[in-house]
Amino acid sequence: MRKKVLCAMLAAAMVTASLAGCGSSDKSGENGGKNGQVTINLYQNKSEIASQLEAAAKTYMEQNPDVKINVESIQGNDYNTNLKAKLLNKDSVDIYAAGDKLDNLLEYTEDLSDQPWVENAVDGSLDDMTRDGKVYGLPVGIEGYGLVYNKDIFEAAGIDAEKLTSYDAIDKAFADLQEQIDSGKLSEQFPALEAVEEYAAKESWIPGLHTLNVALANEFTSASELWQKDSIDLIYADALKDLVDLETKYTTSKDNLALLNAVDYSSQIGGGIAIERVAVVQQGNWIGPEVKGISEEMSEKLGMLPIPLKGVNEDSIATGISIYWCVNSQSGDEKKQASKDFLNWLFQSDDGKKIIIDNFGFIPAFTNYDGIEISDPLSKEVQRYINEGKTMPWVMNGFPSGYETQSAADFQGYFNGDYDWNGCVEKLKKDFKELKAQ
């Protein structure tokens, strides 16, 4: 059930926040803050929880005035590059999301094996961040993705989502829904609705990680197994094409797929499903807080369909550990201790647990959250699939460095008409092999 992954996810614009503690003067000491105050710089790549994380840091600082926390959240494809620059620049980052392979970051990762949360981690959740028996990263949460849909639109169209557990059933339902949209049957109730789906091909992690992962998650059992391979066969390439077809032929770009290469995350979410311009997107429970920020009513309408690999695995979603947070081993001792204390508070204290569940909308990767119910509708959906055993792993952490960007470019070239599907498959296999050999 608890399949593992290190995923570098998500989204569209940089959000930066510097949250100051108490006091009037700002005389910087060796710890980067006011006299007697330790400064922690936290850098992470889940911009959809940026404001929630800032609020959590503010709460912690109110309880701990001797600590100052600067939160910086970045979205898009530049996180790893920026992270490496920050790690090389002393005092610029103390807590960070491991957006790259642990082996590429070991010089800057503190051994966290003695931290209290380690013994409470879900079985298997620490595997990708463990080397030689030492734990180097905290699992931020369990996430899952499939085809997120608007329950109200499906109900108005007379479509029973509970019966959509196979590729053909989903395809038939989408065709029916598109016909009703085109005929204007739903226009009075949903005036902005123009297509069944939106597919954000501009975001490398959507085609290059999540769509591709569906095929590879059924070819390999884990990220670790994939990481050991020098090449991939893409034995489910035909089924992958069927999935790509399903996700693109009911978009407004169906007659010119090249237009998908200009569709970004914000167009898909804030300008898409959150305003009922479309009814379905390939996304995960991480979009819950963002949609809720736009419309709490809308966030309650969202459900999750399987992401079907035709003839292979048609009734499941992909689940895994979303990201891991690490402590910079190059930071000073006081900064490292303050960083560890904050992480323990956020993920293990009663106040922190409520923030993780209610504000972040996460499914906890820890076993000691008894009595705290998941509140986010999409996270409840992910938990349901987990409980039913209808999941496939995230094997994306087994990709060689740089493959997300290159594989996305391969999909984008296909959408652009630069080559046919067979050409796309050959490029995906060739790029994997070449990057792995580097």
* CATH number reported for the structural domain that contains residue 153 in this entry: 3.40.190.10
What is the chain's length? 438
Burial of 350 (0-12, 13-18, 19+ CB in 10 A): exposed
User: What pLDDT, on a 0 to 100 scale, did the predictor assign at position 76?
Assistant: 62
For residue 309, give the 3-state DSSP assignment.
strand
159: closest CA among 3, 320, 303?
303
Non-local (6+) Cβ contacts of 197 within 8 A are 174, 247, 248, 250, 251, 278, 279, 280, 281
Identify whether residues 270 and 330 lie together within a single domain: no
- Spatial contact of 329 and 110, defined as CB atoms under 8 Å apart: yes
Identify whether residues 336 and 346 lie together within a single domain: yes
The total of structural domains in the chain comes to: 2
- Can you tell me the distance from the alpha carbon of 243 to that of 162, in angstroms, rounded to the nearest whole number? 20
Identify whether residues 297 and 202 lie together within a single domain: yes
Instruction: Judge whether 188 lies within some domain.
Output: yes
Non-local (6+) Cβ contacts of 36 within 8 A are 29, 66
Q: Please, what is the angle between helix 421-437 and helix 403-415, to 10°?
A: 160
Instruction: Judge whether 307 lies within some domain.
Output: yes
- Can you tell me the distance from the alpha carbon of 359 to that of 67, in angstroms, rounded to the nearest whole number? 22
Instruction: Judge whether 378 lies within some domain.
Output: no
Q: Enumerate the β-bridge partners of residue 302.
A: 150
Identify whether residues 126 and 179 lie together within a single domain: no
- From residue 4, alpha-carbon distances to 7, 313, 321, 322 in Å are 9, 18, 6, 9
Instruction: Judge whether 266 lies within some domain.
Output: yes
Report angle CA 130, 398, 243 to the nearest 5 degrees.
135
- Spatial contact of 97 and 325, defined as CB atoms under 8 Å apart: yes
Backbone angle region of 76, left / alpha / beta, with phi > 0 → left and psi within -120 to 50 → alpha: left
115: closest CA among 325, 397, 332?
325
Identify whether residues 313 and 329 lie together within a single domain: no
DSSP secondary structure string, 72-115? Answer: EE--SS-HHHHHHHHHHSTTS-SEEE--S-GGGTGGGB---TTS
Token pair 């402590």 is found at 327
- Spatial contact of 326 and 110, defined as CB atoms under 8 Å apart: yes
Domain boundary among 334, 368, 402: 368
The CB density around residue 146, as the number of other CB atoms within 10 Å, is 28
Walk along the chain (438 residues) in steps of 10 and give the mean pLDDT of each run. 34 33 35 74 91 96 97 80 89 88 88 97 90 95 96 98 98 98 98 98 95 97 90 98 98 98 96 97 93 93 98 97 93 97 98 93 92 90 94 90 94 98 98 95
Identify whether residues 200 and 283 lie together within a single domain: yes
User: What pLDDT, on a 0 to 100 scale, did the predictor assign at position 99?
Assistant: 72
- Spatial contact of 196 and 280, defined as CB atoms under 8 Å apart: yes
258: closest CA among 208, 215, 201?
201
Identify whether residues 236 and 288 lie together within a single domain: yes
Question: Hey, what amino acid is at 431?
Answer: D
Identify whether residues 95 and 41 lie together within a single domain: yes
Instruction: Judge whether 382 lies within some domain.
Output: no
Token pair 């070449």 is found at 434
Identify whether residues 297 and 339 lie together within a single domain: no
Where does 255-314 show beta strands of DSSP type E? Answer: 278-284, 302-305
Q: DSSP character for 128? A: G
Instruction: Judge whether 47 lies within some domain.
Output: yes
Identify whether residues 99 and 124 lie together within a single domain: yes
User: What pLDDT, on a 0 to 100 scale, did the predictor assign at position 22?
Assistant: 31
76: closest CA among 318, 362, 399, 405?
405
Residues of the domain holding 52: 15-141+322-368
Instruction: Judge whether 374 lies within some domain.
Output: no
User: What pLDDT, on a 0 to 100 scale, did the predictor assign at position 26?
Assistant: 36
- Can you tell me the distance from the alpha carbon of 285 to that of 382, in angstroms, rounded to the nearest whole number? 7
Domain boundary among 368, 383, 402: 368
Instruction: Judge whether 94 lies within some domain.
Output: yes
- Can you tell me the distance from the alpha carbon of 376 to that of 302, in angstroms, rounded to the nearest whole number? 10
Identify whether residues 163 and 180 lie together within a single domain: yes
**pTM exceeds cut of 0.85:** no
209: closest CA among 318, 78, 325, 309?
318
Identify whether residues 99 and 223 lie together within a single domain: no
